[in-house]
Structure 1
Amino acid sequence: MDKLLEVKDLAISFKTREGEVQAIRGVSFHVDKGETLAIVGESGSGKSVTSQAVMQLIPQPHGIYKRGEIWFDGQQLLGKTEKQMQRIRGKEIGMIFQDPMTSLNPTMKVGKQITEVLHAHEKMSRQAAYRRAVELLDLVGIPAPEQRFHQFPHEFSGGMRQRVVIAIALAANPKLLIADEPTTALDVTIQAQILELMKDLQQKIGTAIIFITHDLGVVAKMADRVAVMYAGQIVETGTAEEIFYDPRHPYTWGLLASMPSLDGQGGKLASIPGTPPDLIRLPKGDAFALRSAYAMKIDYKEEPPLYRVSDTHFVKSWLMHPHAPAAIPPEAVARKRRHLEEVYDHPVLVES
């Protein structure tokens, strides 16, 4: 497939009084046209900073682009002026943020917030923008869109506000949609509705999606490919099938094993011991070594390279070295995967 977005060896740091926070450390990934890439990991792993870097929203001057390239639809985004990026944001790349109430202007009617995007990027007349806004509200499943057009954000429920945010993000038919934990603030019923909405809209308009989340249940429902982030690096990447059925990194095992089972049959809830490393004072070697039951001596001395498992599956772990001892994922990993299959119907993967 054709690559729509390609990030190469991206490194970003932030200046603080305590020192330089190495938030992103050599991240590389790509998104093909029309596909969904899920970026998963704990809080502080670098997921949101990566998405903000694509949108060129890293705060200056504290944020520093150390190195790397960001190619979108054949153009290099790093180095573009703010005016140039304003023509890309919303028009070429849309973004859905985590909390819809903070994304929307509480003093402005929701219809006006949609038509602003249409006026800015599509140069529509007032009447044409109104008709398109009503169509978008209807498209994202908001009843009585003509009436809702004239209402304020506080008159909508949390799920309906998130639908408005999605309508704004889709207003100019972007080629790429970045969804930064868009369902975290919603209850599970509304979350399922929003996920179904996004899948349905993607099939209708063909938009590629970067879905940022810590919820592997969401990943099982949404993703074509998965990138697992830890301490500012991608430690494993592969198709959804490879990540769920053949995970190779101990951190991925930990994420899978720590998923709760709502049926009560999952046994004791597993957790990943310890805490993420200090990104100002990173430990030598593998950043996950201190939390891993599979760490070897070399993990405390040298950072592992990226090993190729298949054409689509790559793992950053010394366990992949030919001379490393065999390591078997904990039983909880297979148990939680079986639970996902029961919840989402076998298999856990989205249809291709």
Structure 2
Amino acid sequence: MEIKKKVLEVNDLHISFHTFAGEVQAIRGVNFDLYEGETLAIVGESGSGKSVTTKSIMRLLPEHNSQIKSGEILFNNENLAKLSDKKMQKIRGKEISMIFQDPMTSLNPTMTVGKQIMEPLLKHQNMSKAEAKSRAIELIKMVGIPKAELRFKQYPHQFSGGMRQRVVIAIALACNPKVLIADEPTTALDVTIQAQILELMKDLQSKINTSIIFITHDLGVVANVADRVAVMYGGKIVEVGTVDEIFYNPKHPYTWGLISSMPSLDSDDEDLYAIPGTPPDLLNPPKGDAFAPRNEYALKIDLEQQPPMYKVSDTHYAATWLLHPNAPKVEPPLAVRKRMHQFKQDNSLVSTKEGR
């Protein structure tokens, strides 16, 4: 198995927001790596810290009330958390790009689409206007927008939602960035357009070997795009593993809840599950496991102490006391057990075929 090069490394990141009510501890010790050419999906409910984590990589957090309290964001042997804004401007848009959730608010309504795609090329690539224009038309074609020369001269309001999102992707990919952060890029789009945008991103990734961090609350999307998944809850990563490990052998009760609440083709109405309660108040984060009050499998220790990250395999880790050797054995919910059973069956079929 080839060892992939690490492109980005986040170590023990803590981020707070200072509000009138007090200090909101939005990110509480996040660790993850991103490897060359891979897609890492960060999954979790709204408020779990997904967007704050990735905006901190781009250093796009509001300056007046946010603070990176500790931790490192290592990229190109530099700690982005400590870089000056001037240095960050050279990285932002050139080496690390972002696709935002709503294309209408991330495009300038007063500028033609072509000019907006040309901007990063003129700023970062030292191109002449003529070179930038021809590259912008190439990018418009690359993201699947027909009549590129005509579209180059048009304004965002003349495009549909899906086409606007393609324009945003063209801007983000203009300088062939090493890292592309996609913050719920398909949430505002209907299902058929979603599928096209996801397909487009996979296709472009294979062409330019960009590493992607894909933020979503929709596990169904993850199965189609990601190589690895990090599950976030209460400002922490509670489980991380390959797509197969997270979908078919999940270990954290929060991941069980997310998977059980995801409809599949063979699920009945009764099978669908909703995680009870609400996410924790990060003004006063709980002493123990943040998920404990909503967790029907919670142990006494969950209310007193945060669990460490337990190793399940070389690529799979989960922060739950249920993995402690002395913890009682519990059965995951039915929907999760069905998936596990299916996974074991599929794996045994594969090994039988390989054994022939």
TM-score with structure 2 length normalisation?
0.93
* 1:230-264 CA-partner distances (Å, limit 9, x unpaired): 00000000111110111000000000000123666
1:102, CA displacement in angstroms? 0.3
Distance 2:204 2:170 in 1: 10
Q: 1:69 aligns with which of 58, 63, 72?
A: 72
Report SS of the residue matched to 1:84: helix
Inter-CA distance 264–28: structure 2 relative to 1 (3 Å threshold): closer
Inter-CA distance 194–337: structure 2 relative to 1 (3 Å threshold): farther
* 1:278-300 CA-partner distances (Å, limit 9, x unpaired): 00012221110000010011111
Contact 2:12 2:72 (C-alpha < 8 Å) held by counterparts: yes
* Amino acid paired to 2:264: S
Q: Is the aligned partner of 1:189 residue 2:163? A: no
Q: Is the aligned partner of 1:145 residue 2:148? A: yes
Q: 2:257 aligns with which of 248, 254, 257?
A: 254
Q: 2:11 aligns with which of 8, 13, 25?
A: 8
Report SS of the residue matched to 2:244: helix
Contact 2:248 2:336 (C-alpha < 8 Å) held by counterparts: no
Which moved further from structure 2: 73-82 or 155-164? 73-82
Distance 1:59 1:339 in 2: 46
* Amino acid paired to 1:78: A
Q: 2:296 aligns with which of 293, 297, 304?
A: 293
Distance 1:73 1:92 in 2: 10
1:172, CA displacement in angstroms? 0.6
Q: Is the aligned partner of 1:323 residue 2:326? A: yes
1:308, CA displacement in angstroms? 1.0
Distance 1:69 1:105 in 2: 33
Contact 1:223 1:240 (C-alpha < 8 Å) held by counterparts: yes
Contact 2:271 2:335 (C-alpha < 8 Å) held by counterparts: no
Question: Once the two structures are aligned, what percentage of the paired residues are identical?
Answer: 66
Q: Is the aligned partner of 1:79 residue 2:82? A: yes
Report SS of the residue matched to 1:108: coil
Distance 1:201 1:244 in 2: 25
Contact 2:310 2:317 (C-alpha < 8 Å) held by counterparts: yes
1:74, CA displacement in angstroms? 2.1
Distance 2:54 2:265 in 1: 31
Distance 1:145 1:339 in 2: 46
* 1:63-101 CA-partner distances (Å, limit 9, x unpaired): 011110000122221211111000000100010000000
* Amino acid paired to 2:215: I
Report SS of the residue matched to 1:21: strand
Q: Is the aligned partner of 1:40 residue 2:53? A: no
Question: What residue in structure 2 maps to residue 218 of structure 1?
Answer: 221
Report SS of the residue matched to 1:107: coil
Report SS of the residue matched to 1:22: strand
Question: What residue in structure 2 maps to residue 201 of structure 1?
Answer: 204
Question: What residue in structure 1 maps to residue 100 of structure 2?
Answer: 97
Question: What residue in structure 2 maps to residue 343 of structure 1?
Answer: none
Aligned length: 342
Spell out structure 1 runs of 4+ moving beyond 4 A: 334-340
Distance 1:259 1:338 in 2: 17
Distance 1:336 1:216 in 2: 14
Contact 1:266 1:335 (C-alpha < 8 Å) held by counterparts: no
* Amino acid paired to 2:174: A
1:11, CA displacement in angstroms? 0.2
Contact 1:3 1:73 (C-alpha < 8 Å) held by counterparts: no
Contact 1:257 1:336 (C-alpha < 8 Å) held by counterparts: no
1:339, CA displacement in angstroms? 10
Distance 1:265 1:147 in 2: 49
